[in-house]
Structure 1
């Protein structure tokens, strides 16, 4: 993947109204997309991808078995996802929100979009799924994966990054888990983590890319929250989440 760095006139807004729900396969260690979580007009929705329902060995997510018959809607966030919002009872809540650049009163979808909804030892991750048309500007954030596997010197570089600092993607064809993997690096080619695999196709569909630091943190926040990156650009002719692979039940 070639990342073309261009200057956009203004920073596009990041609006989290839809998230891609992914699950890590214990065999391949790769995340696969299983459905969409949405929030619009004060209603939450969840729908499975048709290809996930047709997969051999399909098992519904906890509490979302009824969605196999079509999209579910609710006035409140589904329990599976609500338990992934950083709890007000957690002593490290403010530290986590600060690491994500969020205010204390951040809405649940905002928290899920930035934290990716991960919990220690968990296999579910929520990723941005912007509903943006062809030719329109798009912006979203993502946490880099695999920081714990980087050399210590590269991990130390994350601490020195500043918001707005430009970054870039670099192909990682020797990656044992996924030969299509994309590293995130600074302009000195220091490794800062990996793009989440389910976002590879999304990123490849975006033109005029500008990748930069949204938030960088020290080791006190844990590996997962070390680097929050921001990608901006324009949706290319391929479009985002278009085609049979993204049809929902």
Structure 2
């Protein structure tokens, strides 16, 4: 019996990266896992839901041109051999991804910044109404997001992250982009998954009615009041800084 590490090493040698894979982009906790998982189940297609090979240190190596996407996916080919690939980190370097993968059609998930940022904080067991947080409290896989968190309010850091992910009109308005709002998906999961599949020409292989409410990631809590969760100061920061991009993405009201 092979260990998991040996098995993955063998698969990386056997499998070839799929240049025509359908990518799912979107900030962490924007619904990318649920949409990818349900789409894969609906269409019967293989999927990668997160891959450590686009986390640190590979993320920085790609961004600083110390490593090309071609080198990376040929070295760690197994997760990139699937028909659908989802990894939120890739949202910040779609141009790098496009140097190897076709991206003729891809999915881009967006979510209201208040709920997106709140969900990230829930995932990390962090409050929303402080000025600063201790980086040592943050899980190592998420710590890179806050690496500049020395003098900046951590909510400012998360706002900047939301904007960096979602303020990409060259990609969100790209002819091949299927832009999906998480709120629309949440209101009609089967309908939106069917729409995505139709738009991508995938068709339907399986009934997903029994798994539409499956939790693909830990579920966050929904506060009675966003103002209470974030505090007035942090709430107003999110509202003012995200308003323009939010409107461009179809959010007439952010909260």
TM-score normalised according to structure 1 size? 0.24
Rg comparison, structure with higher value: 2
Whose helix proportion is higher, 1 or 2?
A: 2
> What is the TM-score normalised by the length of structure 2?
0.24
Higher strand share: 1
